Amino acid sequence: MKWKVLISAPYMHMEIDKLSHIFEENNIDIDLPPVKERLSEAELVPIIEKYDGIICGDDSFTKK
């Protein structure tokens, strides 16, 4: 099974080339959405269900 992970932390985007082998070795597909600082609740709610996990920074996670 392949895991699907959203990476919304901008600092991780900058280092992804150094880390991509770790995701590949662990059967993880990653998505890197365009992020300036953080994703809002309005941006996360429509997409979050398709992911098994998220590596985030200061994103607006709520009960929704």
C-alpha–C-alpha distance, residues 47 and 33, integer Å:
11
Three-state secondary-structure class, residue 29: strand
pLDDT value of position 52? 98
Please say if the pLDDT value at position 1 is more than 90: no
Q: What does the pLDDT look like over 14-58, one tens digit per residue?
A: 999 999 999 999 999 999 999 888 899 999 999 999 999 999 888
Please say if the pLDDT value at position 4 is more than 90: yes
Query: pTM of this prediction?
Result: 0.85
* Confidence band, pLDDT 50/70/90 cuts, at residue 8: very high
Asked if 28 and 48 touch (Cβ cutoff 8 Å), the reply is no
Asked if 41 and 62 touch (Cβ cutoff 8 Å), the reply is yes
